[in-house]
């Protein structure tokens, strides 16, 4: 049978994580395409700030910034319009859709625009479907990309990033903090890939989602799979560039810590193994060896 004709509609890419899964590198690669129009941020944090009690701090940060910019406007000072715009999207989410449609309308050569906010991996299926339907009603197809990483490595990388930002709060060796904090909501919610996969499956069709792995991302095969999904021509990836890399660890995690973390997230490994039955998960994610 002949291949189906390509979808003529432009594409909105909703990146949903995972945090420390290579989303910044992928965003920058796609944004470098002349067929992609990127906005003023990689991560807009609109729907996590709106929907998630755990991200209320983000809602407050955005609104406080807008309040500050409003005072500057009243005083006749220069204003950061982006700060005001993000707050406006919180109070009228349809402005979010209008904004990205406006980007696409600037040039008929644009085929793709995107928001890659890893915290969107915590959104409900209902919210994901709302985003998809809102763009669809305006003639834009929505697809999603979810990049997973070995749960132990993801948590450890996440913690080292936090440690570099706030060393006064996380002052011990990072391996010690992994053992103490791996089940805390800050780390746990972003490692529950099984829940994100379930929400994506409910909100999107199978041809509208790319589920991949950080460990395989930096290959032509994986990058080409994403560019095909989003409907743009491929261009040469910069595999030697790393962005937002966490500080290197001084030593390996103790095996008892690896085992404890892996067993805590057993449902994640089971869900990923079921989704990729031909994948040697223990080879890709060495921590999977310690589930027994």
Q: What is the pLDDT of residues 209-244, one digit of tens each?
A: 999 999 999 999 999 999 999 999 999 999 988 777
Cα separation, 243 vs 96, whole angstroms: 26
What does the pLDDT look like over 77-95, one tens digit per residue? 999 999 999 999 999 999 9
In a domain, 121, yes or no: yes
- The domain spanning residue 33 has which CATH number? 3.40.50.300
- Please determine, for residue 250, whether its predicted confidence score (pLDDT) is greater than 60: no
Q: What is the mean pLDDT of residues 127-154?
A: 98
Mind listing the pLDDT tens digit for each residue in 148-196? 999 999 999 999 988 888 776 776 788 888 999 999 999 999 999 999 9
Answer whether residue 238 is part of any domain: yes
Q: 47 pLDDT exceeds 60?
A: yes
Are 65 and 85 a contacting pair, CB within 8 Å? Answer: no
Q: Is residue 248's pLDDT more than 70? A: no
- Identify the band that residue 30 occupies on the pLDDT scale cut at 50, 70 and 90: very high
pLDDT of 4 reads 62
Q: Supply the pTM of this predicted model.
A: 0.94
| Average pLDDT taken over every residue of the chain | 94
Distances from the Cα of 248 to the Cα of 86, 156, 160, 251, 252, angstroms = 34, 10, 8, 9, 10
Domain assignment present for residue 55? The answer is no
Beta-carbon-side half-sphere exposure of residue 202 (alpha carbons within 13 Å): 14
233, part of any domain: yes
Q: Taking 80 as the threshold, does the pLDDT of residue 6 lie above it?
A: no
Whether 109 shows a pLDDT value over 90: the answer reads: yes
Is the predicted pLDDT of residue 147 greater than 90, yes or no?
A: yes
Inside any domain, residue 277: yes
Q: What is the pLDDT of residue 174?
A: 84
Domain span at residue 260 reads: 11-46+93-290
Query: Helices in the chain by DSSP H: which ranges?
Result: 23-31, 47-51, 56-74, 81-91, 94-104, 125-136, 151-165, 174-181, 185-188, 193-203, 214-217, 220-230, 255-264, 266-275, 281-284
Identify whether 133 is part of a domain: yes
> At 185, is the secondary structure helix, strand, or coil?
helix
pLDDT band at 128 (very low <50, low <70, confident <90, very high): very high
In this prediction, residue 175 carries a pLDDT of 86
Of 163 and 67, the structure prediction assigns the larger pLDDT to 67
79 inside domain: no
At residue 7 the predicted structure's pLDDT band, cuts being 50, 70 and 90, is confident
Domain count along the chain? 1
Q: Is the pLDDT of residue 5 over 70?
A: no
Tell me whether residue 15 is in a domain. yes
* Beta-strand runs (E) in the chain: 11-15, 112-116, 141-148, 209-213
């Amino acid at each position: 049978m002949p291949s189906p004709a390509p979808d003529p509609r432009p594409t909105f890419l909703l990146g949903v994580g995972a945090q420390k899964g290579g989303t910044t590198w992928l965003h920058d690669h796609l944004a470098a395409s002349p067929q992609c129009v990127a906005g003023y941020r990689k991560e807009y944090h609109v729907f996590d700030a709106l929907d998630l009690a755990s991200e209320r701090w983000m809602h407050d940060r955005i609104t406080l910034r807008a309040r500050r910019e409003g005072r500057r406007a009243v005083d006749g000072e220069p204003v950061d319009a982006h700060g005001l715009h993000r707050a406006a999207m919180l109070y009228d989410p349809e402005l979010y859709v209008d904004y990205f449609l406006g980007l696409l309308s600037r040039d008929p050569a644009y085929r793709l625009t995107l928001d890659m906010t890893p915290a969107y991996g915590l959104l409900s299926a209902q919210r994901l479907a709302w985003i998809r339907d809102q763009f669809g009603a305006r003639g834009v197809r929505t697809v999603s990309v979810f990049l997973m990483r070995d749960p132990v490595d993801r948590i450890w990388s996440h913690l080292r990033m936090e440690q570099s930002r706030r060393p006064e709060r996380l002052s011990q060796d990072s391996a010690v903090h992994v053992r103490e904090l791996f089940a805390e909501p800050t780390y746990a919610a972003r490692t529950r890939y099984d829940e994100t996969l379930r929400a994506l499956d409910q909100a999107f069709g199978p041809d509208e989602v790319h589920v991949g792995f950080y460990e395989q991302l930096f290959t032509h095969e994986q990058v080409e799979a994403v560019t095909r999904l989003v409907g743009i021509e491929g261009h040469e990836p910069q595999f030697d560039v790393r962005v937002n890399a966490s500080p290197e660890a001084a030593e390996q995690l103790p095996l008892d810590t690896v085992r404890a973390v892996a067993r805590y997230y057993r449902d994640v490994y089971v869900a990923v193994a079921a989704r990729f039955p031909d994948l040697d998960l223990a080879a890709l994610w060495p921590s999977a060896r310690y589930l027994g």
